[in-house]
Amino acid sequence: MSNLKNKVQLIGNIGNAPEIINLEGGKKLAKFSVATNESYKTAKGETVKETQWHNLIAWGKTAEIVEKYLTKGNEVAIEGKLTSRSYEDKAGVKKYVTEVVVNELLMLGGKK
């Protein structure tokens, strides 16, 4: 059970074309977002659909796969871990970001 302490699994659709950053030493970083959808019925029987957006990052070989194969709208299943970080924007305001670091990626939905 110790491996289950920080594990995230999502199935959703890519929101925009992934941003690929080439780092020194040839390492790659991919940044992208995934939308997950949930539906439920209200007490009046109306169906409500909620969309949650998740920020994802992938490193190395996984980033190369993201760069080569993923485009906006693709359905994917991912597994990773949740991370948080902070930074200061250009105006000096501290910003907080929560991201999923992708360990495994499965492309769903077949060829388009």
The CATH number that applies at residue 47 is 2.40.50.140
Q: Which two tokens stand for residue 3?
A: 């491996």
pLDDT tens-digit readout, 6-48? 999 999 999 999 999 999 888 999 999 999 999 999 999 999 9
- Compute the distance between CA of residue 50 and CA of residue 43 in angstroms, rounded to an integer: 16
pLDDT at res. 3: 66
- Compute the distance between CA of residue 7 and CA of residue 1 in angstroms, rounded to an integer: 11
pTM above 0.85, yes or no: no
**Helices (H), ranges, the chain:** 60-69
**Element spanning 41, H or E:** strand 28-41
pLDDT at res. 110: 64
Q: Is residue 99 pLDDT above 90, yes or no? A: yes
Total number of domains in the chain: 1
Could you tell me what percent of the chain has a pLDDT over 90?
Answer: 88
Range of the domain at 46: 2-108
